[in-house]
Amino acid sequence: MAAPGKVAAFRLPPLPTIGEIIKLFRLKALKQLSQNFLLDLRLTDKIVKQAGELKNAHVCEVGPGPGGITRSILSAGVEQLLLIEKDARFIPGLQMLSEAAPGKVRIVHGDILTYKMEKAFPKHLKKDWEDEPPDIHIIGNLPFSVSTPLIIKWLESVSKRDGPFTYGRTQMTLTFQKEVGERLTANPGSNQRSRLSIMAQHLCTVENCFIIPGQAFVPKPEVDVSVVHFTPLVQPKIQQPFELVEKVVRSVFQFRRKYCFRGIETLFPENGRLKRTEQLMMTANVDPTLRPFQLSMSQFRNLCNAYRKMCDEDPSLFVFNYREELRQKKMTETLLGSTGQPEQT
Ligand code: SAM
């Protein structure tokens, strides 16, 4: 968990306010891009503090927009700040900030979902995975439609130690819709416990830092926002490939309200499904009548390990796709008609 950092370690020269920047460059928030801006620098300071000590750190800010969080990051005394912004309208305002902090800011007009992070920082910052996290941080207030696919992509990168995690256990401080923040940190038994809880918590220490009320943004979104901090774990709690963990967890949560047995069944082809499901549950020592949201991390680990063992014994198992089986079955039924006989034409 990051110890909250100090913010004012570097003084920016007097600048127009964020509100004035928005007016000056006519930066009307675009609804279709879910743009909601933070104008209150006390709040942006509070977000940036959650990242921990940033003095002399290298930071990547995703979606800087008009630059509120950007100013707080610069004030924290960072060594280098990389800004990745998709909307070209914000670039001139960001350039103005860059001139106010000479030699510190690099602006990329691009999409964070495709930007290659493995070469974004100097090589000498690299740390071994087992070491303390490197002096590299990712911070961002992104649209909800981007932050959720992005965190899934980055969790996969944590597992594979690629992208931003080529440098070691890079920490992230990101915003999410409040409900997604609750899912990311939900404990067993909680209503919000979901696929995202297991995928995030098995790879990272995840901390729901605080809630920003919707009215703090301009324009106001329909929901409140969570600031969430992630530190990749030295040892993932489930030591299996990302794709395997993802498949097991997705299958289990497919029928949220039913016994976990029901979702686990979908890991196996129809022929021998019941027997194999029983075998998996027995090997994993998991009560089949527990509901998915009741399962602990160690029960998920046992399920993944037991499934891995079965896949090693029968390599065709891992590629089995339940939805594809259903689709094929439906097609056959349509072809044969309801009588089970080929239809007369
Ligand atoms: N950080 C600013 C703030 O807090 O006021 C702006 C936040 S606004 C919710 C999201 C920002 O992310 C916008 O500037 C938007 O253009 C940018 N953005 C959206 N999708 C992006 C993407 N795929 N890659 C990079 N930036 C993106």
Whole-angstrom distance, CA of residue 188 vs CA of residue 1: 20
Q: Which of 25, 117, 142, 146 to mutate to test the pocket of ligand 1 (most atoms within 8 A of CB)?
A: 142
Contact 82, 106 (CB under 8 A): yes
Ligand 1 pocket check for 277: Cβ under 6 Å: no
Length of the chain: 345
- Cα of 22 from ligand 1 centre, angstroms: 14
Before 92, cis peptide (omega within 30)?
A: no
- Cα of 226 from ligand 1 centre, angstroms: 16
pLDDT at 5: 64
Whole-angstrom distance, CA of residue 295 vs CA of residue 228: 23
Q: Which of 86, 174, 226 to mutate to test the pocket of ligand 1 (most atoms within 8 A of CB)?
A: 86
Whole-angstrom distance, CA of residue 99 vs CA of residue 294: 53
- 3-state percent helix, strand, coil for the chain, nearest multiple of 5: 45, 15, 40
Structure tokens at 89: 């309208």
Could you list the pLDDT tens digit for every one of the 345 residues in the chain? 456 665 567 888 888 888 888 888 777 877 767 789 999 999 999 999 999 999 999 999 999 999 999 999 999 999 999 999 999 999 999 999 999 999 999 999 999 999 999 999 999 999 999 999 999 999 999 988 899 999 999 999 999 999 999 999 999 999 999 999 999 999 999 999 999 999 999 999 999 999 999 999 998 888 999 999 999 999 999 999 999 999 999 999 999 999 999 999 999 999 999 999 999 999 999 999 999 999 999 999 999 999 999 999 999 999 999 999 999 988 888 887 755 554 454
| DSSP element (H, E) containing 122 | none
Structure tokens at 259: 């016994």
Q: Closest Cα partner for 75 from 41, 40, 38, 39?
A: 41
pLDDT at 339: 59
Q: Closest Cα partner for 69 from 41, 101, 108?
A: 41
Contact 93, 67 (CB under 8 A): yes
pLDDT at 23: 81
pTM: 0.92
pLDDT at 340: 56
Which residue, by CA, sits nearest to atom 23 of ligand 1?
Answer: 111
Positive or negative, the CA dihedral 315, 316, 317, 323 is positive
- Cα of 35 from ligand 1 centre, angstroms: 6
ipTM, interface predicted TM-score of the complex: 0.99
pLDDT at 15: 85
Residue 166 C-alpha from the chain's centroid? 17
Ligand 1 pocket check for 76: Cβ under 6 Å: no
How many other CB atoms are found less than 10 A from the CB of residue 211?
Answer: 14
pLDDT at 345: 41
